[in-house]
Amino acid sequence: MPGSTANSPVSTPSADDQPFVELVDAHKSYGSVQALKGVSLTVNPGELVAMLGPNGAGKTTAISLMTGLRKPTSGSARLFGLAPTDIRARGRMGVMLQESGVPLSLRVREIVDLFRTYYPRPLPTARVLEIASISDLGGKLISQLSGGQKQRVYFALAVCGDPDMLFLDEPTVGLDVASRRAFWEQVRTLVGGGKGIVLTTHYLEEADALATRVVVVDHGVKVAEGSPAAIKDRVPGKKVSFTTAGPLKDADFRDLAIQNLSIHDSSVELLTNEPEAVLKALFERGTEIHDLEVVGAGLEDAVLSLTEGRG
């Protein structure tokens, strides 16, 4: 696109007043299964919204509504103020789906060149390959690529039209640590250029590294929304587990900064942000502790703590 400078690798979206994406009270049922139960989400230019949640939370369904691959059972989805299926809206979005195929007998450069013709203002092929870190793979057949390399091809196809809005469904699955970091770097550049991005992930770390806003989804509803820092504050970072000589009662943990306490006979599990203080207090109360383990809390634990008491 004319007007791109050497410093801004991709074009800056035109300044619209309206949000790029608006999902309003979206419900989605597949037969008797309710995948989404009233989710609202707005994405503005320059925002990266990370949708965080366990498998089956409804993240992919939310993406498919925003991209027009599925229609909401009730509620609405708008993309650039248009129906997401509108060809003009699709010309400004890019998408990376989970488990979507590409023609195995095409070369990387051929499929990128093909997808570029779908868009009104595509990026140069060399630039696309560079963004996706596959400049050296252009001549390879897709069938010769590893899973991680294919994942990068999908990213290339998502960005080749220089979209204003990107939807990335689990984009770093199958990437090794180094590729994941490189990918994050590219995504940060895109957001810096004023694009909007929705990204789904299992990894709290990934949401934390990239997002301007985090939306936690579970069982088809939004259970929390806020800046990564705000979400992390609400999520206990450590899981503490141990066994005790004698049975403990809830009362033994009174006044401690803990969540999700579970006691089964002599084994105890809890979440906390201050494992040292909690353990110190327990020792001072004379609790006898064996088999102590302190690990980083996983996403499942985090979502559990956010959903606790929600009914």
- Residues in contact with other proteins by CB under 8 A are 67-71, 80, 87-93, 95, 97, 99-103, 105-106, 110-111, 113-115, 117-122, 141, 154, 157, 161
Q: Using the minimum distance from each CB to other proteins, give the nearer residue, 87 or 251.
A: 87
How far apart CA 283 and CA 286 sit, in angstroms, is 5
Q: Can you tell me the distance from the alpha carbon of 212 to that of 120, in angstroms, rounded to the nearest whole number? A: 29
End-to-end CA distance of the chain: 51
Shortest Å distance, C-beta 120 to other proteins: 5
Please, what is the minimum distance in Å from the beta carbon of residue 16 to other proteins?
A: 10
CA 245 – CA 119 distance, rounded (Å): 67
Residue 266 CB, shortest distance to other proteins, in Å, is 49
Least distance to other proteins, CB of residue 46, Å: 19
Phi–psi pair at 61, nearest 5 degrees: -60, -45
Smallest separation, CB 240 to other proteins (Å): 42
Residues 6+ apart with CB under 8 A from 117: none
Q: How far apart (Å, rounded) are the C-alpha atoms in residues 79 and 102?
A: 25
State the nearest-atom distance from the C-beta of 273 to other proteins, in Å: 40
If one counts every other C-beta atom within 10 angstroms of the C-beta of residue 136, the result is: 9
> How far is residue 263 CA from its own chain's centroid?
32
* Cα separation, 109 vs 307, whole angstroms: 46
Which residue, 59 or 222, is less far from other proteins as judged by CB?
59
- For 267: left if phi > 0, alpha if psi spans -120 to 50, otherwise beta; the answer is beta
Q: Distance (Å, rounded) from C-alpha 126 to C-alpha 142?
A: 17
Which of 296, 258, 262 has the alpha carbon at shortest distance from 279? 258
Q: How far is the CB of 27 from other proteins (least distance, A)?
A: 14
**For other proteins, which is the closer residue by CB, 10 or 93?**
93
